[in-house]
Amino acid sequence: MVTDLAKKKCTPCRGGVPPLDAATITPLAAHVPHWTVVRNHHLHRAFTTRNFADALDLVNRIGRVAEQEHHHPEVTLSWGRVGVDIWTHKIDGLTESDFILAAKIDEAALTAS
């Protein structure tokens, strides 16, 4: 499912703004239903793949998206599994850009082999 968020661009955070509150997070989270909002601080998703090569391919797809958006998640790679955590480090919390990146990562995962 591609959402309108996937069509937006991430906006660099310069700091000095508060992280999103729970009331703002809830409607954004509805656009990325496979992601878990953890303590209103970050987004998490675990992908499963058929093998290590497919997991590595997905990591590379995520990396390309992150570079295009200039917004970089924490990514873990293991056999048949890719974990992704997203938050805006500058403010140590969530911004709309985190949800945009999550939607774009979902889109990239759909094209994975």
pLDDT tens track for 34-93: 999 999 999 999 999 999 999 999 999 999 999 999 999 999 999 999 999 999 999 999
Q: What is the CATH number of the domain that holds 46?
A: 3.30.1360.20
**Residue 4 domain-assigned?**
no
Task: Round to whole Å and give the CA distance between 53 and 71.
Answer: 24
Closest by alpha carbon to 46, among 3, 76, 25?
76
**Residue 84 domain-assigned?**
yes
pTM: 0.93
**Residue 109 domain-assigned?**
yes
Domain, as residue range, for 64: 34-89+98-113
Name the E strands within the chain: 36-38, 42-48, 74-78, 81-86
CB 82, CB 59: distance < 8 Å: yes
